[in-house]
Structure 1
């Protein structure tokens, strides 16, 4: 299995109309009857999935959208992210690109939470669902200390206000992954994260909803849950709890990986996803 060695260029994005004047910038690859939509998480954009493009586009169509306000949109520190609006945008994208057949959804982190909400609202439009360490807490989990969270957000906001973008982004990446993750991140990932630094404060002001057991248990479609062997406990708790609640779930742990498992271990990640998507 292979994967591209660098990020797609800005010119690779196509603007897909939704409704009215709304549109999403998307990367599209492959051919086939099945459509797979990949949903990025915080500080990322449609380019996030570049290590998956070659392998996953064999025999199927891929669409990797950039959610509203993310690259290639011009940086705007006044943006206000809204996960509910993102769900609506993606539902419109599904209807635009695959009006007659359900799609496969792959979501990572915040994008995983959005993918879950889309599938929960319209399970008839989703064939299979892949959630890679989805964001959002479970009712069974222990929420973060609100005082510490506010202090963390305040520190990030202060750095951004002073123009210390790389320091703020690095602090966030280390916070959701492991200490030193930003330092050792690939150059292309760093560039992408810095391209989206302007979304960081707004994203922290747009909390994801908690998962409720009664709602999760009603999602009667095949779900693959992916976690990293070295990931932070809160993501592991979410994956393991969802696995107990979902009626048709499979869990895969990527050896040696943490939160960005699809970037650091693309071969293992791609193989697990393909095995799931291609299952009868």
Structure 2
């Protein structure tokens, strides 16, 4: 594990594989996660690409208590931009999952000069009225559930809070069925959810989508339910140079459930 000092914070990262005359692939994890989540795809992807995989501010291996105002979408976007700049490797390929996909989308908006290609695996977020005729404004419909989850965590009921979060995304009864290692990784990042409910992330707009000019791959789990598929399809319809790949029989953690298929579609896109 290495680290880069960005915006006053030592950002830890893994650097795996060789350059192979291609841009490196920088990977940004999602909520309650960290650089370990990419472990199941490191092998296949590093056969062709150098992978640089950071853990965002306050995520494992950091130990954060949820106090302070340095956890936000804006902070993490700024950190990823500074991280890529400090690498001094020229334009990179950037891949993000869930909340990390939202961060990567905003990086692509703000600093397209830093990127060659963009991979967004079910980016998290909401849609404004320009993309969703049913938009009513106000907080995300998921926010109340995530706030309840964060409240349990803040009160010391880590597993209870994580169960609310996981079951909200994947369906009732999911938490007890998770493998022990996955549960522990979630526990290691539990307090970041306290910061996340204060994110106040702006919804995606049609103008946002149209501003993404680099080739972009959207990746969707065929069995993912709820808001995520709606957001993905709305963005993909308006990002000019985009394509969408669907991973059969997979839900939101699609690269953990179907790593071989996920790597196939990503490698094919990056080779284009």
TM-score when normalising by structure 2: 0.91
Partner of 1:131: 120
Partner of 1:60: 49
Structure 1 residues 247 and 148: CA distance shift in structure 2, 3 A = closer
Partner of 2:59: 70
Is the Cα–Cα contact under 8 Å of residues 75 and 195 in structure 1 kept in the other structure?
A: no
Structure 2: gaps spanning 5 or more residues: none
> Take 1:150 and 1:231, find their aligned partners in 2: how far apart are those partners?
19
Match for residue 83 of structure 2 among 89, 93, 100: 93
State how 1:2-151 maps to structure 2 within 5 Å. Answer: 13-18=1-6, 21-32=8-19, 33=21, 34-80=23-69, 81-99=71-89, 101-139=90-128, 140-141=131-132, 142=134, 146=139, 149=142, 151=144
Runs of 4+ in 1 over 6 A off after TM superposition: none
Structure 1: gaps spanning 5 or more residues: 1-12
Any idea what SS the aligned residue of 1:107 has?
Answer: strand
Quote the offset at 1:27 in angstroms.
1.2
After superposition, what is the alpha-carbon deviation per residue over 1:63-110, rounded to whole angstroms, capped at 9, x for unaligned?
1111000110123231441111111111111112134x2100110010
Is the Cα–Cα contact under 8 Å of residues 35 and 62 in structure 1 kept in the other structure?
A: yes
After superposition, what is the alpha-carbon deviation per residue over 1:176-210, rounded to whole angstroms, capped at 9, x for unaligned?
22333322223222111100001112101113221
Partner of 1:10: none
Match for residue 223 of structure 1 among 212, 216, 223: 216
Any idea what SS the aligned residue of 1:64 has?
Answer: strand
Structure 1 residues 51 and 159: CA distance shift in structure 2, 3 A = same
Any idea what SS the aligned residue of 1:183 has?
Answer: helix
Moved more, 153-162 or 225-234: 153-162
